[in-house]
């Protein structure tokens, strides 16, 4: 048992040669992945900074194996990049990358919400409403991570009735890549209440079955994030021009 109450697996006691497919191993990788992701999203690990395997393993009290696997997962989200003979680095912030992400998100999420609205059930709409309330409560309490988790849950609750696993997978990948930009954008918004109000407008249109209004509100929300980042881009540290 580790100091933080987590079960220490044979892999962590016996070294790198242990079976990486052991029962319980996934939870360790998940824990390390979540911790690394949060540090990247919060800026604790700055864009472009090196991610040294030995240092990360010591910091998270695990062996190299779960750290390496967590970094590989984050590479698929484009939060981390591997360089030949140089190890891993946090992906740079790029205005061109941000615009590319949002152009693709607009297309996919417009399609998802158009398809989902006629198929949404009352329970699914209620789940979106609860997520919106949780998002508002999180921002009001200064619980940023909780608010952003609820923010994603809100959007995904609206898209899931479309019933397309590939669409949801693609949107999920884009959300993971966009999260740093989302947080930067919220930092320059006039007030969290306005951010929540934009999403309330989307939900009202969905509940009312107004597909065009929902698409318009959703698109405006995504474009607002893109515009705010663009307008404030000169103040963003560690960017790539």
Q: For position 185, what pLDDT does the model report?
A: 67
Q: For position 42, what pLDDT does the model report?
A: 80
Q: Quick one: CA torsion of 229, 223, 203, 120, rounded to 10 degrees?
A: -120
Q: What angle do CA 64, 67, 70 make, to 5 degrees?
A: 150
**Does the domain at residues 10-90 carry the CATH identifier 3.30.360.10?**
no
Architecture field, domain 94-240: Up-down Bundle (1.20)
Report the alpha-carbon distance of residue 102 to residue 122 in Å, rounded.
Answer: 29
Distance from CA of residue 101 to its chain's centroid?
Answer: 13
Report the alpha-carbon distance of residue 160 to residue 120 in Å, rounded.
Answer: 8
Tell me the two tokens of residue 104: 């693709």
Q: What is the location of CATH 1.20.120.530 in the chain?
A: 94-240
Give the C-alpha distances (Å, rounded to integers) separating 5 from 2, 28, 29, 49, 58: 5, 12, 16, 30, 17
Q: For position 181, what pLDDT does the model report?
A: 82
Name which of 82, 62, 51, 74 is nearest 20 in CA terms.
62
Report the alpha-carbon distance of residue 53 to residue 17 in Å, rounded.
Answer: 17
Does the predicted TM-score (pTM) go above 0.85?
Answer: no
Q: What is the location of CATH 1.10.10.10 in the chain?
A: 10-90
Task: For CA atoms 152, 158, 161, 163, give the dihedral sign.
Answer: negative
Q: For position 7, what pLDDT does the model report?
A: 33
Find the largest Cα–Cα distance for the chain. 59
**Residue stretches of the chain with pLDDT short of 70:** 1-26, 184-187, 189-190, 233-241
Other CB atoms within 10 Å distance of the CB of residue 80: 21
Q: For position 16, what pLDDT does the model report?
A: 39
Q: For position 94, what pLDDT does the model report?
A: 84
Q: Give phi and psi for 165, each to the nearest 5.
A: -65, -40
Residue with tokens 């417009």: 110
């Amino acid at each position: 048992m580790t100091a933080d109450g987590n079960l220490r697996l044979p892999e962590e006691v016996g070294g790198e040669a242990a079976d990486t497919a052991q029962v319980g191993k996934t939870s360790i990788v998940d824990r390390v992945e979540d911790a690394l992701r949060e540090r990247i999203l919060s800026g604790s690990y700055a864009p472009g900074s090196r991610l040294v395997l030995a240092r990360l393993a010591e910091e998270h009290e695990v062996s190299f194996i779960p750290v390496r696997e967590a970094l590989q997962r984050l590479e698929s989200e484009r939060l981390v990049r591997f360089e030949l003979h140089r190890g891993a680095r946090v992906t740079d912030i790029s205005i061109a990358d941000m615009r590319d992400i949002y152009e693709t998100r607009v297309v996919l999420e417009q399609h998802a919400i158009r398809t989902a609205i006629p198929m949404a059930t009352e329970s699914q709409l209620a789940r979106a409403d609860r997520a919106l309330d949780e998002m508002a409560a999180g921002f009001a309490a200064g619980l940023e991570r909780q608010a952003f988790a609820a923010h994603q849950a809100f959007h995904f609750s609206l898209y899931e009735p479309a019933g397309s696993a590939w669409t949801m997978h693609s949107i999920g990948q884009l959300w993971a890549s966009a999260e740093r930009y989302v947080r930067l954008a919220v930092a320059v918004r006039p007030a969290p209440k306005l951010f929540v109000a934009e999403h309330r407008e989307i939900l009202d249109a969905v509940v009312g079955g107004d597909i065009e209004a929902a698409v318009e509100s959703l698109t405006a929300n995504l474009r607002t994030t893109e515009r705010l980042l663009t307008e404030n881009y000169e103040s963003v540290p560690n960017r790539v021009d």
